[in-house]
Every structure is written in C-alpha cells, then in structure tokens.
Amino acid sequence: MKVALVTGAGDRSIGAATAGALRARGFRVLTTTRSCPITADHHPLDLADAGSVARLAAWVPERLDLLVNNAGIHLDLRSRWTEPQLVDGHEVHWRTNYLGTAQLTRLLLDNLLESGDARVVNVVSKLHDRGRNEWLVAPVAPYDSWAAYGTSKLALVHEAAEIERRYGGVGVHGYSLHPGSVYTRIADRGLETAPVLGRLRRLAAPIERRTLLTPEVGARTTVFCATSPDARPGGYHRREAPAEPSADAQDAAVAAKLWDETSAWTASLLT
C-alpha cells in the first residue's frame, strides 16, 4: 500500500478533502493539524516551529510515496499591518508557508527516495503572482502582507520545480498547483482580531458556500498532481491541468539559488 502524508488536514479543509480522496484511491494517508493527539495516522504540526517539524518527520514511516504540502497560513486579510510580524526573525508567512514546508520536505527526502517513484505536491495559490523574486532574498518593501503571502507561495512554486530538476531522475517528482477559490476556514485566523468582520463573514457564509468551490472540488487539482500521469513534473497546475505560472516563477537560476540557500538554513537547524 502506498503511503501519503497530507499536511493541514483540519476540519472542512482542502487537506481533509485531499486525504479522503487519496484514501479512496487506496493510499494509507497520514495527516496533520496544528494541534491534535498523536495516533497511528495523525500527528500535530506547527510549520513555524522547527522542533515540531522535526518531530513529525521522525514519526513518518521509512518509505513515503507522496508528500502533499497543503498546510499554510494567510493572515492580515485586511492589510492592516504596516510592519512584518516576525517568527524566528522571519516574516510570518515566509517562515510558516515556505521555510517550514521546505524544512519538512528536506527531512523527508530520504523517505521519498526510498519509494523509487514519489511525488511532492505543493499547494500554492494564483496569488504567487503577487510575489517577486527580489523579495525572496530581501524584505517586501514597502511591507504588504498580501505580497508577503504571495512571495511565500512563489517560493513554493520554485521549490517544486527545483525538486524535479534535482531529484526527478532518481524518482522524486515535484508539482505545484492553485486549488481555486475554495470555501474553507483559512480566513478564520486572518480575522481573529476583527470580531465584527468575523460575525459578518459567518452571516455571509451561505452566499460564500454557493459562490466558492467546496473543499472536495478544490482538492481535485491536488489529487490530479498526486496521482495523474497527465500532471507535468516540475510544473504548475490549475483546474486539473498544467498551467503557466508567473514570469518570476519560471526563473530556474533563482530557483536553484533559493534551494541552496534554504538547504543551508535547514542544515543550520541541526547544529
């Protein structure tokens, strides 16, 4: 039986829908949420905590056939922050969405190589086009949390492409995708400090459900990248098909440099 790990599989999430679809296809699926008891197939994960990432990686079985990097955050939805919120000295979206995911992926490379035919699927966003390659190595200036979020997702598009370039020949393939505009709970944390807007959003929930995709529909492109022979290794995908990412995302030299610098950062965590 093939083994998959899906991060960020909380209630009513794309991750939970992805996990269900993969189980229906015969995978043993391991899942994570930020806070949960450890069971045979479930483990807590806080991507902004290097120790939490390392504990999860040590828990994963020796062979892993599929890693779905679905977990992530999108905070400050109202664009109220004028300065970045820092975690370990890094902007919070960058630290969580990109660095935490990159650390987990590198810690699990040996498990993926053990499979001989594994896939790493990064759930990103069309908002990666809000990011810029220059902000991969320097702060977003002037600061804008949406641009910071987009830059973290741009980095994950680069990461998937670079996995393919470096490991595709030995059986680990990278993919990235935009799942669509999906009705999930991702906005909940972004509105924690705005109780009035939170109440208005709850009142508008019936309209959102009718106009946005369900998590099950949103998971389709993730499952396509995870299982379909028609998915493009190293490529970006939308609506269950390969698509063209932003111009910045197509710079292979930037991707290679980002990979090397990120690997140096993850290595420093071990010292």
Residue-level pLDDT at 207? 44
Residue-level pLDDT at 124? 98
Instruction: Look at the block and give the residue holding tokens 């909380």.
Output: 10
Number of H helices, E strands in the chain: 11, 10
Predicted confidence (pLDDT) per residue in 66-123, tens digit? 999 999 999 999 999 999 999 999 999 999 999 999 999 999 999 999 999 999 999 9
State both tokens at 43. Answer: 């483990």
Q: How far apart are CA 42 and CA 199, in angstroms?
A: 31
Residue-level pLDDT at 83? 96
Provide the 3-class DSSP secondary structure of residue 117.
coil
Residue-level pLDDT at 180? 87
Where in the chain are the domains?
A: 3-268
For the full predicted model, state whether its pTM sits above 0.85.
Answer: yes
Burial of 87: CB neighbours in 10 Å, binned 0-12, 13-18, 19+: middle
Q: How far apart are CA 174 and CA 118, in angstroms?
A: 9
List, in sequence order, every residue forming a beta bridge with 243; answer none if it has no partner: 236
Pair 5, 57: CB distance under 8 Å: no
pLDDT tens per residue, the chain (271 residues)?
A: 999 999 999 999 999 999 999 999 999 999 999 999 999 999 999 999 999 999 999 999 999 999 999 999 999 999 999 999 999 999 999 999 999 999 999 999 999 999 999 999 999 999 999 999 999 999 999 999 999 999 999 999 999 999 999 999 999 999 999 998 876 655 555 555 556 545 544 544 454 455 578 999 999 999 999 999 999 999 999 999 999 999 999 999 999 999 999 999 999 998 7
Strands 241-243 and 236-238: antiparallel
Topology adopted by domain 3-268: Rossmann fold (3.40.50)
Provide the 3-class DSSP secondary structure of residue 14.
helix
Q: How far apart are CA 125 and CA 49, in angstroms?
A: 23
Angle value at C-alpha 149, between 56 and 144, nearest 5 degrees: 140
Instruction: Look at the block and give the residue holding tokens 């995908």.
Output: 237
Residue-level pLDDT at 183? 66
Residue-level pLDDT at 271? 79
Q: How far apart are CA 194 and CA 182, in angstroms?
A: 21
Distances (CA, A) of 107 to 7, 103, 149, 197: 14, 6, 24, 39
Pair 107, 57: CB distance under 8 Å: yes
Predicted confidence (pLDDT) per residue in 26-40, tens digit? 999 999 999 999 999
The single-letter DSSP state of residue 123 is E
Within 8 A by CB and 6+ apart from 74, the residues are 93, 149, 186, 187, 189, 190
Q: How far apart are CA 120 and CA 256, in angstroms?
A: 17
